[in-house]
Chain A
Amino acid sequence: MSIDLKTIKHISKLSRISVDEKKADKLAGDLNSIFDFIEKLNELKTDNVEPLTSVAETSLKLRIDEVKSKNIREQIVKNSPQDNEDYFVVPKVIE
């Protein structure tokens, strides 16, 4: 199989990473060599094999749903890229 530039553009849109022509060419080359290597899995017949979703053989524990971190608004917004005491600021979305 081969990943073409159209596919690269599609994946870049899905992953929200902008890609120019030069970068797309390089990515297509790299991804094709990686997928050639991954294709090896097709040698195996796995129709009757269960997928392994977790190696931890325990079921998730239940806990009481209670608030443990209180009054941490300041901590939460502390690292925001654009300064504002109360909110996260983003480019205008609604005209």
Chain B
Amino acid sequence: MSDITKQSLTQLVENIKNKKLSSTDITKAFIERSEKSKELNSYITDDFTSALEKAKKFDQKPNLNLKLPGVPMAVKDLFCTKNIKTTAGSKILSNFVPTYESTVTENIWNEGAILLGKLNCDEFAMGSSNETSFFGNVQNPIDENLVPGGSSGGSASAVAGQLTPITIGTDTGGSIRQPASFTGIVGLKPTYGSCSRYGIVAFASSLDQAGPMAQNVRDCALLQEVISTYDTKDSTSIDFKRKQYSKELTNNIKGKKIGIPKEYRIDGMPKEIEDLWQKGVQYVKDCGAETIDISLPHTSYALPTYYIVAPAEASSNLARYDGVKYGFRAQGENLIDMYEKTRSEGFGAEVQRRIMIGTYVLSSGYYDAYYLKAQKVRNLIKNDFDEAYKKVDAILTPSTPSSAFKIGEKTNDPVSMYLNDIFTVPVNLAGLPGISIPAGHDSKGYPLGLQIIGKAFDEQNILNIAYAMEEKIDFKNKITDWWIK
């Protein structure tokens, strides 16, 4: 039984289809390991009892034609799950029980998967270390007192720690790719409009995307083909021909042109990251692809742009939390007092900070200088990519400017925390797909990731490049189970 949780999603699906394992066997194994792993604090809410019931029910009449037959799976607590508490990592939603299901999770259950529970995340997905969660920080399975990254920190920790075979996160500025890189797993941020945002607690609507976080590229491709559907309930969902990503997956990337953007070679970047990037260049060449030096001249303006656009949208999206219709309410002397106390007590410090920034940049007299300016620069950033894609098929960069850091190391300096997302944010601003794959370790033995950025809707291409590189890299995650006493 003990090795069940070490298996990849693809292996588990195969073993269920060949009747070597039952859904109950697998579900039990992941529940047992999750119970022993409370120290990681990956879960906010578990649903183990009903997961086992569902697994037993599946085994009585198994439908083996499904893509995720009887596979248990925990998901980020930002996805609304019907009748299961959904908190977004916030006190203000700590008692919220949705009466409907998000489209992405609905797609997953329709393919036979079973909900294990809801995974910890930064409050409203605002953070890069999972330290802003109302439900406490999450441990990185790689080492004690190490952040798992964020905002999908619980998701990354749960996959790397083998508490779930695979999961979904959301990515507004790097929240899938950065924690994937910090924990030695694969994370895909799909093209904007590829996965429905219906039923996902909104942070910044023009940037938010759901995506898979997995142990390997094939698993990631399989989950992407399940969650990516056109949905009329999301007005920005795009109706394009989606591929069977896992079926069409190939390691043949001969002749592909891969861009290496010089602006990602930033001042003060550790040599280990530079070396890893060079190794990545060699790997893609070994696979028969060609690398081309390119320029994305506005890269250094991406983070300042993001820290106007994202808080502006957040301040608008989070206006709905007023203590009236759902969520936490503080008592006040009158209606306005109730609003102000509810929001002051219900939101954590980082969320309040971002609402304030957003409110300021949208306020009368400052809109043109900040918000409009940022939207213009966003266009320049997107144009950089459009120009680059006239010459190349994909772009290779590091995923993060450093490996995972210690809990508490960056909490007092918001700007140094924001710099974590320097390589991931441009992709969200341009609406492109990006995937982070584990590519090596630093001197401390912590994982480091490489990012492959694709053209819009070209998920298949970056999955193929990632798949080919994965074979060459042959990365092994060093999980010692230090938290199991």
Interaction A to B: yes
A positions within 8 Å CB-CB of B? 3, 7-8, 10-12, 14-19, 27, 30-31, 33-34, 37-44, 46, 49-56, 58, 60-61, 63, 72, 75-76, 78-82, 88, 90-93
Asked whether A79 and B96 contact (CB < 8 A) given A38-B307, A55-B192, A91-B338, the answer is yes
Enumerate B278-324 residues with CB–CB distance to A below 8 Å.
298, 300-301, 303-305, 307-308, 315, 322-324
Identify B236's interface contact among A40, A56, A63, A82, CB under 8 A.
A56
B448 contacts partner chain A, Cβ-Cβ < 8 Å: no
Chain A nearest CB from B226 CB (Å) reads: 22
Identify A17's interface contact among B304, B356, B360, B370, CB under 8 A.
B356
Contact A81 B96 (CB under 8 A): no
Contact B97 A79 (CB under 8 A): yes
Give the residue name and chain of the A residue nearest to B378 (CB): A52
Contact B192 A17 (CB under 8 A): no
Chain B nearest CB from A20 CB (Å) reads: 9
Contact B307 A79 (CB under 8 A): no
| A63 contact set on B, CB distance < 8 A | 232
Contact B356 A54 (CB under 8 A): no
B116 contacts partner chain A, Cβ-Cβ < 8 Å: no
- Distance A37 CA – B419 CA, assembled complex (angstroms): 11
- Distance A75 CA – B334 CA, assembled complex (angstroms): 27
Give the residue name and chain of the A residue nearest to B416 (CB): A33
Contact A31 B359 (CB under 8 A): no
- Distance A10 CA – B298 CA, assembled complex (angstroms): 33
Contact B379 A50 (CB under 8 A): yes
Given A51-B378, A63-B232; 16 other pairs, CB 8 A cutoff: A7-B360, A11-B363, A16-B339, A17-B340, A30-B353, A37-B303, A41-B373, A41-B374, A49-B379, A52-B375, A52-B382, A75-B99, A80-B324, A80-B326, A90-B324, A92-B334
Contact A14 B359 (CB under 8 A): yes
B445 contacts partner chain A, Cβ-Cβ < 8 Å: no
Tell me if A's interface is mostly helix, strand, loop or mixed. Answer: loop
| A41 contact set on B, CB distance < 8 A | 301, 304-305, 308, 373-374, 377
B positions within 8 Å CB-CB of A? 95-97, 99-100, 192-193, 206, 232, 235-236, 238-239, 298, 300-301, 303-305, 307-308, 315, 322-329, 332-341, 343-344, 347, 352-353, 355-357, 359-360, 363, 370, 372-380, 382, 413-415, 418, 429-431, 456
Identify A34's interface contact among B307, B359, B376, B377, CB under 8 A.
B307
Contact B307 A37 (CB under 8 A): yes
Chain A nearest CB from B340 CB (Å) reads: 4
Contact A38 B326 (CB under 8 A): no
**Sample of 30 A–B contacts (CB below 8 Å):** A11-B356, A11-B359, A15-B356, A16-B322, A16-B339, A17-B352, A17-B355, A31-B353, A34-B353, A37-B304, A40-B301, A41-B374, A42-B373, A46-B373, A46-B377, A46-B380, A49-B376, A49-B379, A49-B380, A52-B375, A55-B193, A55-B430, A75-B99, A76-B325, A78-B97, A78-B99, A79-B325, A81-B324, A81-B329, A91-B332
| A40 contact set on B, CB distance < 8 A | 300-301, 304
| A34 contact set on B, CB distance < 8 A | 307, 353, 357, 414-415, 418
- Distance A17 CA – B340 CA, assembled complex (angstroms): 4
- Distance A53 CA – B96 CA, assembled complex (angstroms): 32
| B300 contact set on A, CB distance < 8 A | 40
| A60 contact set on B, CB distance < 8 A | 235
| A7 contact set on B, CB distance < 8 A | 360
Chain A nearest CB from B129 CB (Å) reads: 16
| B100 contact set on A, CB distance < 8 A | 75
Give the residue name and chain of the B residue nearest to A55 (CB): B431
- Distance A27 CA – B355 CA, assembled complex (angstroms): 11
| A49 contact set on B, CB distance < 8 A | 376-377, 379-380
Asked whether A38 and B304 contact (CB < 8 A) given A17-B343, A79-B96, A81-B328, the answer is yes
- Distance A79 CA – B86 CA, assembled complex (angstroms): 12
Contact A27 B353 (CB under 8 A): yes
Contact B414 A15 (CB under 8 A): no
- Distance A63 CA – B232 CA, assembled complex (angstroms): 9
Chain A nearest CB from B294 CB (Å) reads: 20
| A33 contact set on B, CB distance < 8 A | 413-415
Contact B334 A91 (CB under 8 A): yes
- Distance A8 CA – B359 CA, assembled complex (angstroms): 11
Give the residue name and chain of the A residue nearest to B371 (CB): A51
| A93 contact set on B, CB distance < 8 A | 334-335
| B326 contact set on A, CB distance < 8 A | 79-81
Contact B322 A52 (CB under 8 A): no
- Distance A19 CA – B413 CA, assembled complex (angstroms): 20
| B96 contact set on A, CB distance < 8 A | 79
Contact B379 A51 (CB under 8 A): yes
Contact A44 B382 (CB under 8 A): no
